[in-house]
Structure 1
């Protein structure tokens, strides 16, 4: 996989001492350092997902804040990302109505910082002022008199004023004198493209998940089953829960635990973002092979351990091929998510009962009969004929699970 693909660009925002205060994150899909946005929902969703799941917020902005453009549709979907670092930048051309204002109020109450982009004072934009923490004024779009009028009207409200599109030293000094606190523009720094690998999920899985999550009768078991059909999606879920937005001290041992900790509302928000983004996938055969292995690990794990639900064993099987999906070493991928030492050691070293089960399953797949630990299986009450039964059952289970998806 090409790890030098443009994922996004970042442009620093400075304070009056010319120290970096934050970065604005911008959509970039080519090495040309300019935006080519046709669909605002798609562009903003891609920036959010690439920041928090393809990369990580720490890789992109360090400990600084991240300004990301939000369309009206995104504002109506509470983002499952860090309240401390994400600045929701409301685009200037969005329809302002009671529904949108209520969403802004809710986001502000949740602790998000709200910025108003390319702000000009009028009867519609005036309604958003009570929710704003930062107001961005385009110094090229406003005359000096208009700029001063806006500063005089807005400064008493206690908001931070950000001067954007500063292209000369004189403009920078003039904005400082007017009372601006934050500054952004080509004179200070041009956007820097950030490179990486683009990991793809199955669009069919996303669509099915979205429908299921919007069904009030949905249960975690149903959501878990659908997510488990896509290993990349499963990995990203685990990476999402490891982001700065969530401060869980426990390590994760299964998909079910991750979904439970996040809650269906947060999962729905994440899947909604994915549905707005551009998605494609790896070959179907790799997904099928992975799901068969995960189910095989689950059924064998339940047999050797005596547990009723083999969630941990299923997750080990599911993650065991994630390096093939994401074209990156398994140890590096696992270091980016908060899975338990039990899972990590099982995947990397075949340690513990989960690791022994995974090793048996992988040997069975290769017909490496001589090296299967038959003594361990026999000691735990699993006969040789049971492996064939578990494998066949796994094939039937996967076939049934995939019949609901259109490939």
Structure 2
């Protein structure tokens, strides 16, 4: 990561609730060169480490884009788009002239700004889209609803013509979808039995009770991203090679993926980023290797996966008291670290260190490095899980 580059990422969903790209949220406050340093760093290294093969849109206020118009063509050359905030029609014409190949998502300043140049997407806040005037102006145009914080709002926006969504809705329990509680209950029972297991034999027996989960676990462990030299053919071999603690951990990850089959893939990716970030932060802070930070991140989306309040979702899981506290109490030690991970996701840089003020807090730059490392790890694990 280039020196001084702090960027969060926010997933952008299409109508099928698949992620087509990421909104990139840079931090500029408190630095001498501000936006200039952000643009220089992005132009120097790109954003592939944050977006993978998907589209990336750097969030810029229209005033900043006007001051750095020469950088817009450079962004287009490296395949990075721009999310413009509060742009009017006249400015859009200027941008189109300066960088005709630039991929644009534009949040218009007024409904009248929708006339003229058509960007790749228009972006309108869900609260604005409730206004009939905005909806009339958006009719027949390609637009996404931002600030969508629950599934009910996403469905309402879709009825009004939105073709894309941005917001934390996918991380929330869904109250309207019919669930498959029996299948979920069986996976959770296997997971609970695995966490209660006190010996490799007990753990192997619990995993073997679900052939599909056993198959997924072995496929995942043998994926290239896992880095094992020898092929593992049985649960017993996995236990002999990895041990009880590590096998239980990877089983939890595979079980989480199984629970999320009816949910957007990004939900699992979010859990993996949080888990890895917590683990990396604990190591850097000099904590003992308990794995609790990893589990808090991994299980932090169970409420959304099971469409239940978190307290109910983890009720039958025999996890450590500190893990339970981290999931239920944002003021607990691990709860604060989870809150920091969530702030990083939203690019709320002023909140990050506030949540990590435990006497051993890292700098914001060090924390962002760990977050970016967690993203790269999670993307690799997602590829392994897809093939599992």
Both structures adopt the same fold (TM-score exceeding 0.5): no
Q: TM-score, normalised by structure 2?
A: 0.39
